[in-house]
A and B are shown apart, each in its own frame.
Chain A
Amino acid sequence: MANIISDETIEYVGILAKLELSPEEKEQAKKDMGSMLDYIDKLGELDTGGVEPMSHVFPVKNVFREDIVTNGDMREEILKNAPEEKDGMFVVPRTFE
């Protein structure tokens, strides 16, 4: 493996992804990430000079909707996705700036 992921890097990525990893999981994740980066490096070997960057594989553009209200009140349905609800709202751990 050409890409060696350091402990600091896996720690940082863990914070960004809000993941708490056990020491074993960390080792596995370092390996997985290293091989993913190796794969990306492989792609980097291609000469892409003069190739336009592409963000979509399909030749589709300009898909719009008109500014018309089409959704009604579906609170009950939506709140079924809440782990916990109160007063019609999603309950989450205390969060504030």
Chain B
Amino acid sequence: MAKQYETVIGLEVHVELATRTKIFCGCSTAFGGEPNTHTCPVCTGMPGSLPVLNKQVLEYAVAVGLATGCTITRNCKFDRKNYFYPDNPQNYQISQLYLPICRDGKVEIETEAGRKFVGIHEIHMEEDAGKLIHDEWEDCSLVDYNRSGVPLIEIVSEPDMRNSQEVIAYLEKLRMTIQYLGASDCKLQEGSMRADVNLSVREVGAEEFGTRTEMKNLNSFKAIARAIEGERERQIDLLESGEKVVQETRRWDDNLGESYAMRSKEDAQDYRYFPDPDLVPVVLDDDFLAQIRAKQPEFREEKMLRYKQEFEIPDYDIDIITGSKHMADLFEATVVLGSQPKKVSNWLMGETLRLLKEKDMDPEDICFSPENLAKLIALTDGKVINNSVAKEVFELMFEKDMDPEKYVDEKGLKTVNDEGALRKTVEEVIAANPQSVADYRNGKEKAIGFLVGQTMKAMKGKADPGMVNQVLREFL
């Protein structure tokens, strides 16, 4: 009988924190700046410069630690991880090896197989590196240090996961928790959340772990799932043919669906960590922890329970809405402004999701305000505009947040309630379309749809379709 293998997976997740400034200097973390315009002597590693810790980084790291059940290290410090690579001009990355800020946490995940806990070994604070761009013409590399010194936390899990479903559930859980805390937007595609997968296989029932590899360059949940399947197969093939798995870092190529061993930065992976003498120890007291604890938000699970009790909307809607902190905030704020929850939910579940998908956007990027959504709902509730006009206006609101009341006023989009005008138009449409009229009279019920359409068109979409239908039937 063929041997049965078990996959053992642990994750190292880097999350870029949503601070305004870098971890050790007052440079902006904003995206899209011209190369090297967000740099200073500290983040370009100039001799004599002095790094000072951004307090917000510490607060976010502790908040994530508390939300994932970690023990917070009351007396922590920073260490230097030494390596030579042009993305880091200091020749060391400031990180935490000996006393990471958080340890021994766990998060609960749910897959089709049920619920389980994934342990968190530690969370530490560190700085990001610069970006290398390869210049094919000159055969050299160019370095932009705008990202150098951007704050990261690295969340290291225990090797508790056994398949890609668990890995994805774990990542979703982390992402939700961190987004709810406002500590990061956690976008895999844009790199504000990066996951490295440590994977080994062993025979079912074996006590010892097999030799593991580390997989990098995973930019989507799909790529992660594929990389896990691919690496599991590769390792099993090696073992089955009597070879050994080599402990190494591999780079996943999602287009090819395979990975290759990365040439190590230098053969020697010897980081020679030592305490950073420029940064003083961080000592946290009860008051500090109590302050952070008091600021913890209502997390997704609690929110879902409350929605079930408070709002009469389907579970499916609740699942989608609470799946994005931004959408949940938008939903709640619109309801507070007086809109009926089901109607708010309909706009979010219908048009909003459709446009997000069409434009390949993330719910976190929705730009319209709750005030404007509430106004739009009021306009349709009051039959000031009909549904198709509402959809048009919504699409513009989605594009760039604007006041629908003002827009409808300015563009004259209000439904015409002038029955005289409507009757006159209907008469004209009937006169102009004898064939359809005949069809309808001969029992082709569908022909009326065409006539309604023609009337709406003649009235520039501003009539109430129900009323048009009614008047048409009267005439026919």
Contacts and interface: CB of A to CB of B under 8 A. Distances in A.
Interface in B33-62: 34-41, 44, 46, 52-58
B268 to A, nearest CB: 6
A12 B19 CA distance: 40
Nearest to B279: A63
A69 B53 contact: no
Interface in A12-29: 12, 15-16, 18
Contacts of B39: 74-75, 78
Contact of A92 (B37, B86, B280): B86
Interface stretch (A30-38, A40-48, A79-87): A79-87
B342 interface: no
B346 to A, nearest CB: 39
Given A15-B268, A94-B139, A61 B283 contact: yes
Contacts of A74: 39-40
B259 to A, nearest CB: 13
| Chain B interface residue number, banded | 35 or more
B283 A95 contact: no
A4 interface: no
Interface in A58-94: 58, 60-71, 73-75, 78-79, 81, 86-94
B252 to A, nearest CB: 13
Interface in B413-453: none
A7 interface: no
Contact of B143 (A16, A56, A64, A89): A89
B325 interface: no
Contacts of B53: 63-65
Interface in B137-181: 138-145
A89 to B, nearest CB: 4
Given A88-B35, A89-B36, A96-B132, A65 B55 contact: yes
Contact of A15 (B262, B267, B283): B267
A67 B55 contact: yes
A45 B52 CA distance: 36
B21 A67 contact: yes
B77 interface: yes
Contacts of A90: 36, 86, 89, 142-143, 145
B84 interface: yes
A58 to B, nearest CB: 7
Contacts of B19: 67
Interface stretch (B196-204, B270-278, B360-368, B376-384): B270-278
Contacts of B267: 15
Contacts of A15: 266-268
B282 A62 contact: yes
Given A16-B268, A69-B20, A89 B26 contact: no
Contacts of A89: 35-36, 133, 142-144
Nearest to B262: A97
A61 B134 CA distance: 42
A94 B27 contact: no
B281 interface: yes
A94 B138 CA distance: 9
Nearest to B82: A16
A62 B40 CA distance: 23
Given A64-B52, A68-B20, A75-B39, A91 B140 contact: yes
Contacts of A97: 251, 262-263
B277 A63 contact: no
A71 B34 contact: no
B98 to A, nearest CB: 9
Interface in B189-224: none
Given A56-B281, A92-B141, A16 B21 contact: no
Given A61-B283, A62-B283, A86-B138, A69 B36 contact: no
B281 A69 contact: no
Interface in B85-109: 85-86, 89
Interface of A: 12, 15-16, 18, 55-56, 58, 60-71, 73-75, 78-79, 81, 86-97
**Which 6 pairs between the two chains have the least Cβ-Cβ distance?**
A70-B26, A67-B56, A89-B142, A55-B275, A64-B55, A92-B86
Interface of B: 19-21, 25-28, 34-41, 44, 46, 52-58, 77, 82, 84-86, 89, 132-135, 138-145, 251, 262-263, 266-268, 270, 272, 275, 277, 279-283
8 contacts: A16-B272, A74-B39, A89-B133, A90-B86, A92-B141, A94-B134, A96-B134, A97-B262
